[in-house]
Structure 1
């Protein structure tokens, strides 16, 4: 049995403990303050003792591909070189930092963000195949907008090379590993999923062919960046709507993880996610406070195309909050099945909020471990220096209430931060009590 405080080796790199900050949207962009914004967002986790910090999804191309406003692009080696300031700061605290690489594909902003689409009228979405019929229907009804460019075989190879180039820039800047955004409805999941992938070339058809894009990405990263630790999320599309028949089952997800180990990936992160962008990845309460925020109203209307569309999205958000609920550690069973099938480390995240859950996932008690490392995302918005409370004190639960008042405003480009007064009040009380000071023993 491992404990949260035990080190873990991933691809030859030792991580000092098994608590990690899962990828979040930092909203740093690429402007003159981008590096400082990332330092402000990420350094507190490492300072508090978190063993691994995963910088959130960064885009491997200079145009298109962003799934939300404010995403950072890492296609430019000159910009990525500036990020050495960030990696140095993480290393100063004894932590490790992985960079998550992504491209949104059909989930890109030109699909759903009205103002962005008007500002970039000629920008196409990269697509694995022609959009599935439910998405085409939403296009006809005016809820989404598609102007797709289906990737040719040569263009698929070039996109994989972009992942490799960005990984090489990151390694030169001091990043300790690469995290591929293999779920959350981005382009990688679109290659893996039979819902999206109807290709007839070497990248489509069979489950093995749908996995080939990740294999080529692996080869490109190995060729350009060397033997840097390489991990990826592994999706199972179990929360998908019942009308969707072609999707990835849990068994499919386990098989993908098994094949990824053979390809040469160093760790996997199994997650249950839908085939569409919904609350399956941020399960929790309906964020009433966020939707009622008058200061964000103009941003919502700009994103969704007007007041009535904003109200419609908010109503869908309310329904999905009832559908997905707040089941704790909702990926546990999936992680357990994957860990039984592979010998590489398995990372668990999704609704983990209590130290007892973490201990159980790592193998405390009679059951075998479900994972080798435990990650959280939204709790770090609520408590940037959360690691101190979990690793050094007797804290039993994080403050995060999974209320999603932090996530919904991000569609406007607002920074990721906790906006729930009750949580902020409790954090202030803990700060005054010294609970986030290293060496505290409360």
Structure 2
């Protein structure tokens, strides 16, 4: 980075990625699960409307939420699945909704592994047959261990989905390697207890993510941006550690990854929502970003573009983080669900009038699970996608009740659509 005056708004600077492509500024919309697909997993015009609204705000990069690579492996009802070219015309409209306003749009590709609620899929696979913690076992079934053939098929599917995204006109793809989904499960010694070539040591546990990246790169070429979302740590006993994350980032940087987004946590330990004590140190509160300290450690030894998501609220803190050189892109998620026009203000050095707040139901068991950080915000996205405005003060309990009913109906419809 070149030197800058304290008055300069660094959010307006373009970013040039290792493969030569550019992002028009340093603001990115991080992935949020929209669940705006049909119950048989096709994209809809609501996604077109949602991303058109965000792109018009002036934001540099839009990353879609939770697009699955296999219709047999869904994370939730309403996921979009890209496994063939059936939806190419609508995918093209979705891409153009963003690029037509000058933003880049990357599709986040994912496989849930074990992290899918009971009844949604016929069965769930994972690196090893490790159950969820006791208080979540009623919601998530114990997965079966994936076979070598299944692992190899999943790798091929990631590549195929990425190639279709490129053909549809999207600007890039992001591999979801965080938050407890399948790639994160392979990286974690808690979830991955294999003793074959896919587990047993940190090197073997990261073989899967490297294979996914290389297959995607093989199918899309060097001119198409490929990024990854990766945990700094799982914040879970026996899980993926900072040391292992650092080694994984080094391996991905050497392999040629274009952008690494740093996050953390899983459904069982949701650090990405800021709900864990580890993310609430005084230094974190002062600097706003949850994972900035880890980004500084990465930047000290690894030269790869970094994006940090989680906790940022003010233009001043975003500029301070960029000025420090610890990161290259500011990731925003929940703020854009309650203020889809926030980037327009931030790019002028002004703060959004809205503030992200903890979403609770008042029911301790539910609030400890962190699910409201997904369910409540998903309802706001649906309002924007329908041409309306979000309701920042909506009741958490009401949103939970509405979401539970919708999820149950959605699971039934999804299973029926695949019958």
User: Please, what TM-score do these two structures have when normalized by structure 1?
Assistant: 0.76
Q: CA deviation at 1:188?
A: 0.6
| Kept after mapping to 1: 8 A contact 2:176/2:229 | yes
**Deviation readout 1:42-88 (Å, 9 max, x if unpaired):** 1222111101011111110011231x332211123212442101211
Cα distance, 1:405–1:384 mapped onto 2, change above 3 Å: farther
What is the CA–CA distance in structure 1 between the aligned matches of 2:103 and 2:376, rounded to whole Å? 32
Cα distance, 1:266–1:107 mapped onto 2, change above 3 Å: same
**Residue of structure 1 equivalent to 2:47:** 38
**Residue of structure 2 equivalent to 1:248:** 240
Matches within 5 A, 1:29-108: 29-30=37-38, 34-66=43-75, 68-108=76-116
Matched, 1:280 2:236: no
**Deviation readout 1:229-269 (Å, 9 max, x if unpaired):** 111122133532xxx2x222222211211111112211211
Across the two proteins, how many residue pairs are aligned to each other? Answer: 363
More off after superposition, 30-39 vs 180-189: 30-39
| Kept after mapping to 2: 8 A contact 1:24/1:55 | yes
**Residue of structure 2 equivalent to 1:378:** 334
Cα distance, 1:405–1:381 mapped onto 2, change above 3 Å: farther
SS at match of 1:178: strand
What is the CA–CA distance in structure 1 between the aligned matches of 2:82 and 2:114, rounded to whole Å? 20
**Structure 2 residue runs without a partner (length 5+):** 3-9, 362-370, 382-389, 396-419
Q: CA deviation at 1:214?
A: 1.1
| Kept after mapping to 2: 8 A contact 1:353/1:398 | no
**Residue of structure 2 equivalent to 1:429:** none
Cα distance, 1:385–1:412 mapped onto 2, change above 3 Å: closer
SS at match of 1:358: helix
Q: CA deviation at 1:158?
A: 0.6
What is the CA–CA distance in structure 1 between the aligned matches of 2:373 and 2:297, rounded to whole Å? 35
**Residue of structure 2 equivalent to 1:403:** 358
What is the CA–CA distance in structure 2 between the aligned matches of 1:136 and 1:356, rounded to whole Å? 40
What is the CA–CA distance in structure 2 between the aligned matches of 1:150 and 1:401, rounded to whole Å? 39
What is the CA–CA distance in structure 2 between the aligned matches of 1:137 and 1:41, rounded to whole Å? 37
**Residue of structure 2 equivalent to 1:302:** none
Q: CA deviation at 1:419?
A: 3.4
Matches within 5 A, 1:350-369: 350-363=310-323, 368-369=324-325
Q: CA deviation at 1:143?
A: 2.6
Matches within 5 A, 1:181-196: 181-196=176-191
1:143 is matched with which residue: 138, 152, 155?
Answer: 138
Q: CA deviation at 1:401?
A: 2.2
What is the CA–CA distance in structure 1 between the aligned matches of 2:259 and 2:373, rounded to whole Å? 32
Cα distance, 1:224–1:238 mapped onto 2, change above 3 Å: closer
Matches within 5 A, 1:213-232: 213-227=208-222, 228-232=224-228
**Residue of structure 1 equivalent to 2:402:** none
What is the CA–CA distance in structure 2 between the aligned matches of 1:27 and 1:171, rounded to whole Å? 22
SS at match of 1:109: coil
What is the CA–CA distance in structure 2 between the aligned matches of 1:269 and 1:226, rounded to whole Å? 21
| Kept after mapping to 1: 8 A contact 2:291/2:309 | yes
**Residue of structure 2 equivalent to 1:421:** 393
**Residue of structure 2 equivalent to 1:271:** 263
More off after superposition, 395-404 vs 195-204: 395-404
**Residue of structure 2 equivalent to 1:295:** none
What is the CA–CA distance in structure 1 between the aligned matches of 2:219 and 2:148, rounded to whole Å? 21
What is the CA–CA distance in structure 1 between the aligned matches of 2:249 and 2:353, rounded to whole Å? 30
| Kept after mapping to 2: 8 A contact 1:253/1:270 | no
What is the CA–CA distance in structure 1 between the aligned matches of 2:340 and 2:15, rounded to whole Å? 22
Q: CA deviation at 1:415?
A: 3.0
| Kept after mapping to 2: 8 A contact 1:354/1:398 | no
What is the CA–CA distance in structure 2 between the aligned matches of 1:210 and 1:33, rounded to whole Å? 32
More off after superposition, 216-225 vs 330-339: 216-225
| Kept after mapping to 2: 8 A contact 1:81/1:169 | no
**Structure 1 residue runs without a partner (length 5+):** 111-116, 285-319, 424-442
Cα distance, 1:206–1:409 mapped onto 2, change above 3 Å: closer
Cα distance, 1:412–1:387 mapped onto 2, change above 3 Å: closer
SS at match of 1:28: coil
Matched, 1:176 2:175: no
Cα distance, 1:416–1:341 mapped onto 2, change above 3 Å: farther
What is the CA–CA distance in structure 2 between the aligned matches of 1:252 and 1:324, rounded to whole Å? 19
**Deviation readout 1:213-242 (Å, 9 max, x if unpaired):** 1111112112222222111122133532xx
Matches within 5 A, 1:287-298: none
